[in-house]
Structure 1
Amino acid sequence: MRKEAKEVKIGEKILECPICNHKKFWKRQTLMNTAGATFFGFDWANKEAVNFICNSCGYIMWFWVG
């Protein structure tokens, strides 16, 4: 089930899909898994990224959460 698509503002700019120019996205968090952490069972220690998925074409943009 998809979440509600919304406009996303990054700084002062409204995010726009580079593929179809659509301006509504839904958001999810993704772990940036590493082989070492996975091997030792420490996936929870990996850094996260924020994904914005275009509600029109499905293109996924990744943003690092430092």
Structure 2
Amino acid sequence: MNKDEEKLVVEGKEILCPICGHDKYWTRETLMNTAGASFLGFDWANKAATNYVCHQCGYVLWFLGK
């Protein structure tokens, strides 16, 4: 988890929070759990997404790696 404020730029475009318009986020990684993997105890095998959390209002943007 990175609580430092940073701007979010995706494909050359600065992304503002769709809720409050703020331009700074902190980041975290979240596992994209699936029912099958969780049932079998393989949560660690799920893909991870990067979350950008608005530093002002807390709105979360999710980005899944390619």
Q: Which runs of 4+ in 1 moved over 2 A?
A: none
Which letter maps to 2:32?
A: M
Task: Classify the secondary structure of the residue corresponding to 1:17.
Answer: coil
Distance in 2 (CA, whole Å) between partners of 1:41 and 1:27 is: 26
More strand, by proportion: 2
Which letter maps to 1:29?
A: E
- Alignment match, 2:3: 3
Distance in 1 (CA, whole Å) between partners of 2:65 and 2:12 is: 18
% same residue = 52
**Residue 46 of structure 2 corresponds to residue 49 of structure 1:** no
- Alignment match, 2:39: 39
Distance in 2 (CA, whole Å) between partners of 1:50 and 1:15 is: 15
- Normalised by the length of structure 1, the TM-score is 0.92
Q: Which runs of 5+ in 2 are unaligned?
A: none
1:17 to partner: Cα distance:
0.1
1:11-61: CA deviation from partner (whole Å, max 9, x where unpaired): 111111000000000011100001110111111110111100000000000
Q: Which runs of 5+ in 1 are unaligned?
A: none
Task: Classify the secondary structure of the residue corresponding to 2:5.
Answer: coil
Distance in 1 (CA, whole Å) between partners of 2:15 and 2:52 is: 9
- Normalised by the length of structure 2, the TM-score is 0.92
